Amino acid sequence: MHTMHPSTCEDYLEAVLTVTTGTGRPATAEEIAGALETDPDTAGTALSALVRDGYLVRTPEGGIDLTETGRERAATVARKHRVLQCFLTEMLGIDGAAASREACTLEHEISDETIDRLSSYIDCPRPRHPGRRRCGRSTTTLLDFSEGDTVRVTVLAQPGCNRRLLDLGILPGEMVTIRRKLPNQGMVVRAKGCDIAISPEIAASIFVEKSG
Amino acid sequence: MKCALIGNPGVGKSLIFNQLTGLGVEVSNYPGTTVELQRGNTCYQREIIEVIDLPGVYSLDGASDEEVLVRRFLEQQGADVIVAVLNVTRLERNLYLLLQAAEYGLPMVVVLNMIDEAAKQGFTVDTAALRDLLGVEVLLTSALQGKNIDRIIPAALSAARPATLEVPYDHHIEAAVRSLDKMQGTDRFASLQALEGIGDDAELLETAKTIAEEIESRHRMTISQIIAANRHNFARQIADSITVRQKEPAPSFDLDTVLTRVIPGIPLLLGVLLAMLLTVFIVGGWLEGFIVTLFEVYAVEPFTALDLPGIVEAVGIAILLALQAGLGIAFPYVFLFYIFISVLEDSGYMTRAAFLADKAMHRLGMHGGAIIPVTLAFGCNVPAVMSVRTLRSRRERMIAAFLVTMVPCSARTVIIAGIVASFIGLAAAFSIYAIVFVLIVLTGLLLSRITPGERFGMIMEMAPLRRPDPELVLKKSWMRLSEFLFIAMPLLLVGSVFLGLFEFFGVMDVFEAFIEPVTEGLLGLPGYAATALIFGILRKEMAFETLAVLAGTADLGAVLTALQLYIFAIVTVLFVPCLSTITVLHREVGSRVTLAVTVYTVALGLAVGAVINFAFA
């Protein structure tokens, strides 16, 4: 049995990670072959090699799951993929599908150092650019939702100015319910069991996504 | 021994303080009522204990005036014992502040207040579990019912200890705390503060900043956000573990479905304000007449009958007149007005009003919270200017200070009612209000364009709706009235005495001769009217009486034309706020803004008077 090319190995691990995260249970060989668009036989061979190398384990039910080492390596590659794809689409304006293919090739060669720098380059908040679009995050704000909606906060633009929001429990990860929305966009949201009235411009700085 | 009360706004801290010390602290169901430290003493087992009521805050890491004040207080160990007051009906959010306060390491006692409210909502709190978690004494109280309040001081004296629990922070934060400890030997608390950029040690802050930037780039969140999230999550865990649900609360009708909608919310708001003003003016007018007559019959007439030597009589009359005017207005109008405002605040309605008015206030360069100073100003400008400090930015405070001083207070209303309504007619009186409101709006629009500074939107917790307690409402109205009585009244008295002396020595006549050509040309007013106008700064509510005295008759219609009366009234209403307002303005917003307000209102008053004069003469 020949040794797998590192990029193939990483592609498989990434696929297992995607499938298992998506379904929440161990993957099957068919699912992985489907995700990578190869035939099940090739996939079977590759998966066996990865099990032998200690990246994957076969579960008693016949599924395939990542080992700790495998999960780590897969997560690193997945992060590289995300950062690259973000850079290609958001910064260079390449179309999504093309960027994804490109990222798939680049992710295996790029160094960790470069990825870190690229990531902080993308993330670095520029003055006068609050609430810039971020990859993989929603770009909808509280203003895009209506009365009665429950949403999850993703990002607070201008975090320095609105410290009070943090202290009242309106911060990334928290669920808030819109209790009232006036035609002038002023709103009352419920967070931590308390009703908070906020001005439209504050609501516009709270990025949220539909929960569930 | 010193004992400080700390807690979120509206948790009943001030009420507990009142019950502990018997002092009058302004209690409000409105965020941001207590901005200064309130101190009072209480006696327990022959020991005097100083109790300090800290302003209500949501956090100790923020940059607002109250938060900085409380933080400094705790840093300097201003108290021997911290009494953390929590609202059990908002346990999770209140625990968030408690977790922060606990990090300061001062001996503390935890008071879970509003337990009666919790019982109504069908739950209670396992105090033993919370005591074990925190490592400090926990009391269940109800300040409204006075339950267990007497146990606070004994507990603070005998059982206060620093809390033992630590918030489990994100592992990057914990690692940063460890490395700061290794590098510089700072303790956990100082390191956390430094990571959030709080503290005075420049070297520590610099090191912490480098680490913080690293963590921020990895988390895509600011350090403050991460720390806040950790604390909130921990607070939630604690709240969940100690809340004992007894029964599901009966679904109650939510009044907010009515109060915060555009329809019927806004018509309701306007209706409430209008009904309040009308009631105050009708009932107040009746009371005013009553008090003024009393004074006339039992004080002024007997005094003049004494036939004292000239200068003594002049000063005496001036004092009596000032008292008559001050009490004639203070009690009827201002007190009634503050009763209404207090009811609106304590019921929680004021926060709804602020929410509804937010957008309109934005146009004027402020936010919804400014509705408090603006409505207060209808009573007396002095407490209104004092409440301007609850606004978030200097920009807003400046704009609010400007607009508040233009709002016709009860003294100016007396001029409108006494001169315009009685000699010209009701429609003319309302037209003065209309002109003043238009000018306020125009000024606001202008100021919001030209005033420098950051714009902040409103982030305001809606106070829960509750039935106001009559005793508390009266107490608070009295507190506000005393601001009028003890700040505005002495100045009125002094002003009035000076006025009396000027008159006695004939200064008025000299002044009159000097000013007459200007006012006659510009405003079409005789010299004595101008004098009444100028000296109205000293005692504005007396401008009407001054005019009557100087004209030599109370029947102003006989000596002045309708146009002259109208011009006199509108210029007096717009013209410079009274001396007391200027004094308070100076204290709250500084001399430059005060000067600007004064110059602007004088110019505006003269300009509007001149325009009317030339348009209709």
- Partners of A128 on chain B (C-beta within 8 Å) are none
Lowest-pLDDT choice from A89-93, A112-116, A136-140, B602-606: A136-140
* Res. B100: pLDDT tops 50: yes
| Percent of chain B whose pLDDT exceeds 70 | 96
- Partners of B456 on chain A (C-beta within 8 Å) are 161
Residue A173: closest C-alpha in chain B: B229
pLDDT at B359: 87
pLDDT at B25: 52
Taking one residue from A and the other from B, the number of pairs with CB-CB distance under 8 angstroms is 123
pLDDT at B442: 94
CB B508 within 8 A of CB B502: yes
How far apart CA B382 and CA B491 sit, in angstroms, is 12
| Those residues with Cβ within 8 angstroms of residue B309's Cβ, 6 or more apart along the chain or in another chain | none
The secondary structure element, H or E, covering residue B109 is strand B108-113
- Where helices occur in B152-252 by DSSP H, the ranges are 152-158, 171-184, 188-195, 202-219, 223-242
Query: Domains along chain A?
Result: 1-127 (1.10.10.10), 142-210 (2.30.30.90)
pLDDT at B596: 92
| Percent of chain A whose pLDDT exceeds 70 | 89
* Res. B540: pLDDT tops 70: no
What torsion, rounded to 10 degrees, do the Cα atoms B4, B107, B226, B185 define? 120
Q: Which of B58, B220, B351 sits opposite A164 (nearest CB)?
A: B58
CB A9 within 8 A of CB A43: no
Indicate yes or no: CB of A202 within 8 angstroms of CB of B457.
Answer: yes
pLDDT at A132: 43
Q: How many helices (H) and strands (E) does chain B have?
A: 31, 9
Per-residue pLDDT averaged across B130-151, rounded?
A: 91
pLDDT at A128: 36
B534: left (phi over 0), alpha (psi -120 to 50) or beta: alpha
* Res. A137: pLDDT tops 70: no
pLDDT at A126: 43
- Tell whether pTM > 0.80: no
Indicate yes or no: CB of A199 within 8 angstroms of CB of B459.
Answer: yes
Indicate yes or no: CB of A134 within 8 angstroms of CB of B232.
Answer: no
Per-residue pLDDT averaged across A137-161, rounded?
A: 81
pLDDT at B539: 63
pLDDT band at residue B566 using 50, 70 and 90 as cut-offs? very high
Per-residue pLDDT averaged across B560-576, rounded?
A: 87
Per-residue pLDDT averaged across A91-96, rounded?
A: 76
Instruction: Provide the 10 A C-beta neighbour count for residue B333.
Output: 26
Indicate yes or no: CB of B217 within 8 angstroms of CB of A184.
Answer: no
pLDDT at B109: 95
pLDDT in tens, B438-472: 999 999 999 988 887 777 788 889 888 888 888 87
* Res. B26: pLDDT tops 60: no
pLDDT in tens, B503-532: 788 887 787 888 788 788 888 888 888 778
pLDDT averaged over chain A? 81
CB A135 within 8 A of CB A90: yes
What torsion, rounded to 10 degrees, do the Cα atoms B346, B351, B357, B358 define? 150
pLDDT band at residue A125 using 50, 70 and 90 as cut-offs? very low
* Res. A1: pLDDT tops 50: no
How far apart CA A74 and CA A86 sit, in angstroms, is 18
Lowest-pLDDT choice from B12-21, B55-64, B531-540: B531-540
Distance (Å) from the alpha carbon of A171 to chain B's nearest alpha carbon: 7
Q: Of A112-126, B120-134, B320-334, B566-580, which one has max mean pLDDT?
A: B120-134
pLDDT at B308: 80
* Res. B107: pLDDT tops 90: yes
DSSP designation for B392: S
pLDDT in tens, B166-211: 999 988 899 999 988 888 888 899 999 999 988 888 888 988 988 8
* Res. B23: pLDDT tops 70: no
Distance (Å) from the alpha carbon of B228 to chain A's nearest alpha carbon: 6
Nearest-5° Cα angle at B216, B211 to B219: 130
Q: Which of A160, A193, A199 sits opposite B358 (nearest CB)?
A: A199
pLDDT at A159: 61
The secondary structure element, H or E, covering residue B74 is helix B65-75
How far apart CA A112 and CA A93 sit, in angstroms, is 23
* Res. A3: pLDDT tops 80: no
Chosen for mutation from A135, A167, A171 (greatest number of chain B CBs closer than 10 Å) is A167
* Res. A127: pLDDT tops 70: no
CB B406 within 8 A of CB B440: yes
**Alpha carbon B545 to its chain's center:** 31
pLDDT at B9: 87
Q: Which of A162, A169, A182 sits opposite B93 (nearest CB)?
A: A169
* Res. A41: pLDDT tops 60: yes
Per-residue pLDDT averaged across B542-552, rounded?
A: 73
Per-residue pLDDT averaged across B37-47, rounded?
A: 82
Give the ipTM of the model, two decimals please.
Answer: 0.82
Chosen for mutation from A179, A194, A202, A207 (greatest number of chain B CBs closer than 10 Å) is A194
Instruction: Provide the 10 A C-beta neighbour count for residue A156.
Output: 24
Query: Domains along chain B?
Result: 2-158 (3.40.50.300), 171-245 (1.10.287), 263-452+474-616 (no CATH)
pLDDT at A134: 47
- Which one is predicted more confidently, A26 or A22? A26
Distance (Å) from the alpha carbon of B262 to chain A's nearest alpha carbon: 7
The DSSP line for B12-54 is SHHHHHHHHH-------SSTT---S-EEEEEEETTEEEEEEEP
Distance (Å) from the alpha carbon of A16 to chain B's nearest alpha carbon: 25
pLDDT at B310: 79
pLDDT at A151: 93
pLDDT averaged over chain B? 85
Q: Which of A161, A179, A199 sits opposite B362 (nearest CB)?
A: A199
pLDDT at B4: 93
pLDDT at B128: 94
